[in-house]
Amino acid sequence: MDKLRPFGRGIEDVLLPTFAAYAHILIAKESEIRSTRHETHKYGPTARHQLDIYYPANPPTAPFRAKPVLVFLYGGGFVSGEKVNEEFAHSLVFGNLGHFFASKYGITVIVADYRLISHGAKFPSGGEDVKLVVDWVVNTLSKKEGYESIDLFFLGNSAGGIHLTTWLLSSLFRESREAILAEERKGEGVLLRGAILLGVPYHWGEEDNSILRAYLGDGKIWENSSLGILEKEKKNGTEPTLPGVKINLLVSELDPEFLSASAQQFRTEWTTVDISYGVLEGHNHISPQLGLSTGIEKEEAWGVDVAEFLKSCATK
């Protein structure tokens, strides 16, 4: 982590140096990371709709009563990203994230691929893919022995967080959300309990480029941003309330400055939910997920905090 500051803040500037800084640390933990059992499942109609599920060897730690399941949606700017990064550190990313939460806290972790622009992704396809993951958890995972009662959590990073907010905010997905919302648990089933949004751009200011136009639509970059959707829902009187759910906005200390500004604005504007804000000290836009399962306390501190947040959301 001490090596990160000289890399700067720009996402493209820090990308390759940050991966290089963590490669040898993760490779040194390869046998531990691979010890967590995982399976691959298809969750939707296209070849891209694949997810990896990481199973804990031991029961979840207190105070979890229902089975905690954490869905991770990685970033990649709408154009890149895989549930396993096969070009880096012996293909240990994002297995290191699955291993961290599964082995330390007994949390079942899902890492889901979603459609990129190269697969025809166009707003609101990201929200549609999140809905499909939810459907798979409800219709498939919850039918598995031991998973009859699930507390569902999301961790959305960067572009993955944009897709998550689309599902959380838009009226297009109200039915999907409301099917897993309740202030208190009454019997078995899946309940949404928390969402962490890490390094998410909630709008892009005046930015207008070919990638944003390709995914969000020409002339619709603001309208289909997270803050744009929230603005529309508020005007329509349909701002989501999400009973029983906590939202945690996280930015890294070395993120581009506009990310923290947009997060603070998003926190202020979404007035109907239990929402908090935190800063990951010493991290940049790429490093948080790479720091997990390194065995280094400073690198993993944010993951410990996420686990504590999940515990605070769990069914009592």
CATH label of the domain that carries residue 69 = 3.40.50.1820
pTM of the model: 0.98
Strand partners, 242: none
Please tell me the distance from the alpha carbon of residue 124 to that of residue 46, in angstroms, as a whole number. 16
- Name residue, tokens 């806290």: 105
Rounded to 5 degrees, φ, ψ at 35 are: -75, -15
CA distances from 140 to 143, 180, 186, 268, 287 (A): 5, 15, 20, 37, 33
Per-residue pLDDT, averaged over 35-52, amounts to: 98
Cα 233–chain centre separation: 22
Q: What is the pLDDT of residue 102?
A: 98
Q: Are 70 and 107 in contact (CB under 8 A)?
A: yes
How high is the mean pLDDT of the chain? 97
> Would the pLDDT of 195 be above 90?
yes
* CA–CA distance, 132 with 144 (Å, rounded to integer): 18
* Non-local CB neighbours of 112 within 8 Å, separated by 6+ positions: 43, 50, 51, 52, 71, 72, 73, 83, 129, 133
CA torsion angle for 286, 292, 297, 299 (degrees, to 10)? Answer: 0
Pairing mode, strands 189-198 and 246-252: parallel
**How do residues 243-270 score in pLDDT, each as one tens digit?**
999 999 999 999 999 999 999 999 999 9
* Percent of the chain residues topping a pLDDT of 90: 96
| Tally of domains in the chain | 1
Cβ atoms of residues 304 and 295 within 8 Å: no
What's the pLDDT tens digit per position in 145-191?
A: 999 999 999 999 999 999 999 999 999 999 999 999 999 998 899 99
Q: The domain containing residue 29 runs over which residues?
A: 5-313
Res 3: pLDDT:
86
pLDDT band at 200 (very low <50, low <70, confident <90, very high): very high
Tokens read off for 122: 């166009």
Residue 265 Cα to chain centre, angstroms: 20
Give the model's pLDDT for residue 315: 85
**Contact between 67 and 60 (Cβ < 8 Å):** yes
pLDDT tens for 46-72 read: 999 999 999 999 999 889 999 999 999
Segment 104-109 shows an average pLDDT of 98
